Chains A and B, each alone.
Chain A
């Protein structure tokens, strides 16, 4: 079955702009999580959505937001981009998002902020 699909794979933005990233989870998975990966900070949890509701949130500023649609697809948005937002953004899906079920990751969207 198809894996987690993220679009776009690569994008370049300038400071001050905003960006929207999209994630289609594995069919049947209702939990979608987002992570940011940078060389300095590693993989850091952004937020998690289940049935269109945000259930969990990491320590990121309010410029980072997300949403989930009724078909479980999810988007994340970063407004007023800063140079430090350059990173690989990974989406992961699972059946429930709880312990006992591993997360399935997409290939990521690589954002470069100039």
Chain B
């Protein structure tokens, strides 16, 4: 049972354009969502997060949007740069019941390629 899904295995965009990465979740208990970026042979690096009490969070070129009714979140990167080429993971956690300690549920990842 995959509770966090990233349905697009890959995405290719031109430098300077917008990259939109999507993520869907099924567990209504999730109340905190994060995006991580991963380069080959490195561990995931935190990018941006959003609490379920918000619907948008911005940090520089990165913006995360959360649509709770649709159980959907997206990461927008504007403008995209070749250095953004990496695997992007969506992750979620649920704070209720003490099950959140150190536990993130990850999607399968989307490979983003930004062409110069």
Contacts and interface: CB of A to CB of B under 8 A. Distances in A.
Interface of A: 4, 31-33, 42-45, 47-50, 55-56, 58, 90, 92, 94, 97-100, 102-108
19 contacts: A31-B102, A42-B106, A42-B107, A43-B44, A44-B106, A45-B102, A45-B103, A50-B102, A55-B102, A56-B103, A94-B102, A97-B100, A97-B102, A98-B100, A99-B93, A103-B102, A104-B46, A105-B36, A107-B42
Interface of B: 31-32, 34, 36, 41-46, 49, 51, 89, 91, 93, 95, 98-109
A61 B95 CA distance: 24
A31 B95 CA distance: 16
Contacts of A98: 95, 100-101
B3 to A, nearest CB: 11
Contact of B100 (A49, A90, A99, A105): A99
Nearest to B108: A42
A102 B44 CA distance: 11
B41 A33 contact: no
- Residue of A97, A98, A99 with highest tally of chain B CB at under 10 A: A99
Q: Nearest 6 A-B pairs (CB), nearest first?
A: A48-B102, A105-B43, A33-B102, A43-B106, A102-B46, A56-B101
Chain A contact surface mostly: strand
B114 to A, nearest CB: 23
Given A42-B109, A98-B95, A99-B31, A90 B103 contact: no
Contacts of A32: 102
- Residue of B51, B91, B95, B103 with highest tally of chain A CB at under 10 A: B103
B104 A103 contact: yes
A76 B34 CA distance: 25
- Residue of B49, B91, B93, B102 with highest tally of chain A CB at under 10 A: B102
Nearest to B43: A105
A106 B43 contact: yes
B30 to A, nearest CB: 10
B43 A90 contact: yes
A107 B101 contact: no
